[in-house]
Amino acid sequence: MRAHPETLLAVVGDVHAAWPLLDRVLQRATEARADGILLVGDLGSHDLSYVRRRTPERDARYLASIDELVRRVEACGVPFAFVPGNHDLPDLAHARNADHRVLDVAGLRVAGIGGAGPGAFGFAYEWGEDEIRARPSPPCDVLLVHTPPARTALDRLAFRPEHVGSEAIRERALAHDGVLVCGHIHESPGVVQLGRCLCLNAGGLGAPFGRAQLGFVRRSAAGEWTAIHEDLESGRVLEVARAV
C-alpha cells in the first residue's frame, strides 16, 4: 500500500457472480491504486435467490461462488469488506463481512448494513424498516449498505416512476457525517448528498442492467469526501465533492 495523505476505496456493485465484469472492475481498482475495496452485496450466484428454491445442492454452488469471489478480491492485495445483499445468506461466515459491525479498511471505519427492505419478496435476506432503526449506530467513516436511501436518484426503478429504497437507511444517511455506499438498484448508479453524507450507488455488474462499472470514495488529507462513478463501457465519469 502506498503512503499518502488521502485514502481511496473502490466500491463494487452487485456482482451476482459475473466474473468477467468483476475482473474488469477489479483491474480498474488496481490501476487506480485503491487502498481498499468495498462490496455492496448480492455477491454470489443466483442459486440461492428465493428461499423457496433452496436445496443443499444450490446452497453448495452458491457458497462455492462466494469462495470464488473472495479469491478474486483477495488477489488484488488490498484490504476489503462486504455486506451480504438480499440474494445472499444473512449469516455469511467471513472475517470481512461487515454486517452488524465495524471493520477497519485502509484506516477508515466501515459499518455494514446488509440485506434489503422494506419490500419483502421471499429473498434470502430481507428486513423491515423498524429492524434497521433498532440496530446500533456506531461511529464510522463509511456506511456500507446494500439498499439505497429512499427518495433519491439512487433508488429509482428503470421502467416505473417509483422509488424503492429504505426510509430507515435515508435516516441513517441524514445522521451521518461521511459517505454511504450502496447498490441493489442496478440501474440507478450515481451520487447524491443527504445532509453531510455523500451517497454513492455503484450500480450492478450482474443482470439485470449489468455492465462494467464501479465507484470510488476518496477522503482527502483535510477530511473532505469525493464520490466517483465510472462506467467503463461508455467512458462516462461522474465525480461529486461533498458540498460544505
In a domain, 28, yes or no: yes
Task: Please indicate, yes or no, if residue 192 is contained in any of the structural domains.
Answer: yes
Report pLDDT for 1.
40
Summarize pLDDT for 166-179 with one digit per residue, the tens: 999 999 999 999 99
Is 156 part of any domain? yes
Please report whether residue 194 resides in a domain.
Answer: yes
| Range 4-21 average pLDDT | 94
- Residue 4 above 70 pLDDT? no
What's the domain count of the chain? 1
146 and 184 in contact (C-beta within 8 Å)? yes
Sheet holding 225-231, edge to edge: 80-82, 36-39, 7-12, 213-219, 225-231, 237-241
Give mean pLDDT, residues 160-168.
Answer: 92
Is residue 120 situated within a structural domain?
yes
pTM, 2 dp: 0.96
The overall average pLDDT reported for the chain is 95
In a domain, 66, yes or no: yes
CB atoms < 10 A from the CB of 174, how many? Answer: 12
Give residue 83's pLDDT.
98
- Is 222 within the bounds of a domain? no
**Whole-angstrom distance, CA of residue 30 vs CA of residue 236:** 19
Range of the domain at 200: 8-210+229-241
**Mean pLDDT, residues 124-151:** 97
Q: What is the pLDDT of residues 106-121, one digit of tens each?
A: 999 999 999 999 988 9
CATH code, domain carrying 234: 3.60.21.10
| Residue 116 resides in a domain | yes
- What number is the average pLDDT over the span 207-222? 96
Beta bridge partners, 188, equal none
Q: How remote is the C-alpha of 47 from its chain's centroid?
A: 20
